[in-house]
Structure 1
Amino acid sequence: MSGMTGLSQEEAFARIRLLRSPHVGPVTYAQLLARFGDARVVLEALPDLAGRAGKPYQAAPERRIHEEIAAVRKSGARYLFHDSPDYPPSLAEIEAAPPILTMRGDPAFALRPCVAVVGARNASAAAVKLARDFAHGLAEAGFTVVSGLARGIDGAAHEGALAGGGSTVGVIASGIDIAYPPEHAALQERIAEEALLLAEQPPGTEPLARHFPARNRIIAGLAAGTVVVEAAPKSGSLITARLAGEMGREVMAIPGSPLDARSHGCNQLIRDGAILAQSPQDVIELLTGFDGTPRSAFRDTAPAWVAAEPLSDEPAEVIDLLTTAPVAVDELIRQSGASAAAVQLSLLELEIVGRLVRHAGGRVSLAS
């Protein structure tokens, strides 16, 4: 089941169960695993940790995990764990990297230099053609084109990449066994069979609105750079672009007519410092080394997984410093006068009983 060396069936099962348990997000998961070293030990420790925060705790029922694993197998998928050699280093580097993904296809596609191509669902015909042409050119140049299988720009990007050599990754907001939108069912199946399809949500999960920002961080995290083809000012594609910028990746946008609202997002990105891209060559030049080979923009640093901060044995008193307004964890450490390890433990205990919410940029708040 684990599809990797060194991970026993029992540990793989415990990891899935841990991640599916109440209030365990990617950050908490990483911290708990770093502290206890083994998901089975973490599951035994959770009731005590929650008890200190004043609540009883129940991990996800084992039956549900058995059902999930059966559904993953039935859909022809397998699990990709954060410490697998197949896990993309570019993704491991981001804050709150997904600890477990399900995949269909060949994980090698995500290990090559990747470019995200994203944009509007209700895209213009000209933009759809541009997306297809850009993706075709990028795939021919040796890049893997990453997108989200949505209507409009995403679908065109995947089709262009498949035509340009087949190197593409589809990241979906639903479970691996659900095709959305329905008209992309054949395209999704083709990506799963010829390239790589990734999902963070368990099988059977419908693509709910709150899953899309999480999906977008994976798209941005896989890629050395993100190209926005066409986007309205408040769209998901712009969220992906901003996430890419925060991750230190390249952000590129194709300019458009100021008369079309669908161009305003891209034109604004360029005004804000994104690189103007008018041809696939512009993107290729930006993401290619001096020797002409595609390079990944992320630096070879230790993945965030290794850097999960150690936890102390005693939690710090931080509850009085928190409100429903997000605040940086660094600020809590400064104001509490406690060690980073003690503050992190306190936050973890609050999170697993549902009293704490984590936000991007290392910020936290009380749950409202």
Structure 2
Amino acid sequence: MALTTSNMSILQKQSATGPMMPSIGTEETEHMAYNIEETQDIPYAAWLDSIPGFGRSRCYQLVETAGSARNAYEMPDSDIAFLLGAKALAVWQQHRKLKEPNALYETYLHQGISYVYYKSKEYPQKLQNIPDPPFGIYYKGSLPDSAYPAVAMIGARRYSDYGRSMAELFARRFGQAGITVISGMAMGIDGISQRAAINAGGISYGVLGCGADVIYPESNSRLYYDLIEKGGILSEYQPATPPRAGLFPQRNRIISALADVVLVVEARHKSGTLITVDMALEQGKEVYVIPGRCTDQLSLGCNQLLRQGALAATSPEDIMKDMGWQQEVLTTEPVKRRQISELAQHILAVLDVLPCTSEDIVSALAGRQYGYSVPQIYKGITELELAGLAKRSSGLLRKTEL
């Protein structure tokens, strides 16, 4: 087969040593990346990333051989066949007939979707050093800034009141302290954590196991749009990719990679959450766990991780202190509390950790210690609800996000 002169030595070397993978983060690679005309190269990278069945390894192989995505696109068919084989060449030729790089990229931009690939300056730095970095990232909103500390908060989809309360407490504190919360926008602990972080004025990013334009689960549609405004939605899968079970484990490595530490809020003994933990450990990340009661099924996975050497987080400050992160908090909570009665403040203190029934609050506050009557306590509960500081759900009164 005929080979181009510019690629011959590289192809001969690759034939002898096997497929080349990028050495991301080295000075040589960075120098090469910055010499590329990115505005012209990005559409070609997005085109490569959209080839059905190619996968990131083949995309890496082509770009590392050619030097840029555009050069890869312009390689002769004989070089493509030499590198990838006749079957891959047929797929390549068919894709070139169906899609033109600039037109495809314009379609993404019209949908509000941006794209970066591993040679882009904007490619998240924290992804550069993991064993299997994504070739490219599709995103809505913005990309995480590596200059800011980040925590990946993960846990069970079916959660307990304790798990919900802990997720809200930790995420709210992180949001107030300017610590980015990374998660998967899933039902349960993921979504609860991200909602609490942005409600506290923080930044959060959702990494999806589907296309960045696909809202999954649909019940988190409001969170999806809020994340775009106050962080971003990221995916390595091309737009319109539906959620499939096999895509989520791969997605999890990006969640852990974008964070400095991983925090497990709740997890059963054999939880999918533990997949993310394994990936975090492979990436050299610290793993923290919120301890739970020994008899709680939703804490068995957490407690097992503690036995295996994970770090216990009994408060957000545990993580912040260990990591040397700033611990100042800007919050409007004290102002709100001054605007309610002393009784309402006492009720709010009862609700600080777990949601309660009205009877639980009466038991805690009625009697000699406080001297409140039952009618007074119910009046205080109503005061909190009217002030928007507490809400009732499934017969329980819970503290709202401040």
2:91 — aligned with what?
58
Contact 2:125 2:146 in 1 (8 A): no
- Taking the aligned partners of 1:99 and 1:54, their CA distance within structure 2 comes to 22
Of 175, 186, 189 in structure 2, the residue corresponding to residue 153 of structure 1 is: 189
Matched AA of 1:167: I
Of 241, 244, 256 in structure 2, the residue corresponding to residue 220 of structure 1 is: 256
Superposed displacement of residue 54, structure 1: 8.1
Number of equivalent positions: 288
Bigger helix fraction:
2
Superposed displacement of residue 163, structure 1: 2.1
- Taking the aligned partners of 1:122 and 1:48, their CA distance within structure 2 comes to 50
Superposed displacement of residue 204, structure 1: 0.9
Q: How big is the alpha-carbon RMSD for the aligned residues of Structure 1 and Structure 2?
A: 2.5
Deviations 1:238-282 (A, max 9, x none): 111111111001011111122222111111111111101111111
2:167 — aligned with what?
131
Q: Which has the larger radius of gyration?
A: 2
Contact 1:86 1:108 in 2 (8 A): no
1:118 — aligned with what?
154
- Taking the aligned partners of 2:159 and 2:271, their CA distance within structure 1 comes to 12
Of 38, 49, 53 in structure 2, the residue corresponding to residue 19 of structure 1 is: 49
Deviations 1:103-144 (A, max 9, x none): 111225455221100000011122012111101111222210
Pick 1 or 2: higher relative contact order, CA cutoff 8 A, min separation 6. 1
CA gap 1:166/1:148 in 2 versus in 1, 3 angstroms: same
Of 285, 288, 292 in structure 2, the residue corresponding to residue 256 of structure 1 is: 292
Contact 1:226 1:252 in 2 (8 A): yes
Contact 2:36 2:68 in 1 (8 A): no
1:182 — aligned with what?
218
1:94 — aligned with what?
130
- Taking the aligned partners of 2:209 and 2:201, their CA distance within structure 1 comes to 25
**Identity of counterpart residues, as a percentage?**
34
Question: TM-score scaled by structure 1?
Answer: 0.72
- Taking the aligned partners of 2:65 and 2:264, their CA distance within structure 1 comes to 39
CA gap 1:86/1:13 in 2 versus in 1, 3 angstroms: closer
- Taking the aligned partners of 1:285 and 1:159, their CA distance within structure 2 comes to 24
Q: State the secondary structure of the residue aligned to 1:107.
A: coil
Superposed displacement of residue 101, structure 1: 0.8
Of 37, 46, 60 in structure 2, the residue corresponding to residue 30 of structure 1 is: 60
- Taking the aligned partners of 1:144 and 1:162, their CA distance within structure 2 comes to 9
Matches within 5 A, 1:32-51: 32-43=62-73, 44=75, 45-51=79-85
Superposed displacement of residue 77, structure 1: 1.8
- Taking the aligned partners of 1:77 and 1:14, their CA distance within structure 2 comes to 15
Q: State the secondary structure of the residue aligned to 1:61.
A: helix
Superposed displacement of residue 65, structure 1: 6.1
Contact 1:72 1:102 in 2 (8 A): no
Matched AA of 1:145: V
Of 94, 105, 114 in structure 2, the residue corresponding to residue 69 of structure 1 is: 105
- Taking the aligned partners of 2:295 and 2:264, their CA distance within structure 1 comes to 18
Give the unaligned 5+ runs of structure 2.
Answer: 1-33, 329-402
Contact 1:144 1:167 in 2 (8 A): yes
CA gap 1:175/1:257 in 2 versus in 1, 3 angstroms: same
Q: State the secondary structure of the residue aligned to 2:229.
A: helix
Q: State the secondary structure of the residue aligned to 2:153.
A: strand
In the alignment, structure 1 residue 279 sits paired with structure 2 residue 315? yes
Matched AA of 2:118: H
Deviations 1:32-73 (A, max 9, x none): 32232022443433222233x887542261434667535422
Contact 1:120 1:153 in 2 (8 A): yes
Contact 1:75 1:176 in 2 (8 A): no
Matched AA of 2:67: G
Of 211, 215, 227 in structure 2, the residue corresponding to residue 191 of structure 1 is: 227
Contact 1:110 1:144 in 2 (8 A): no
Deviations 1:174-230 (A, max 9, x none): 111111111100111010012111111111111110110111010001011100000
- Taking the aligned partners of 1:8 and 1:246, their CA distance within structure 2 comes to 31
Matched AA of 1:36: A
- Taking the aligned partners of 1:26 and 1:228, their CA distance within structure 2 comes to 29
CA gap 1:23/1:182 in 2 versus in 1, 3 angstroms: closer
2:179 — aligned with what?
143
- Taking the aligned partners of 1:65 and 1:235, their CA distance within structure 2 comes to 43
- Taking the aligned partners of 1:187 and 1:292, their CA distance within structure 2 comes to 26
CA gap 1:5/1:192 in 2 versus in 1, 3 angstroms: farther
Superposed displacement of residue 159, structure 1: 1.1
Contact 2:208 2:235 in 1 (8 A): yes
Contact 2:174 2:180 in 1 (8 A): yes
Deviations 1:314-342 (A, max 9, x none): xxxxxxxxxxxxxxxxxxxxxxxxxxxxx
- Taking the aligned partners of 1:55 and 1:18, their CA distance within structure 2 comes to 12
- Taking the aligned partners of 1:107 and 1:221, their CA distance within structure 2 comes to 13
Q: State the secondary structure of the residue aligned to 1:146.
A: strand
Q: State the secondary structure of the residue aligned to 1:145.
A: strand
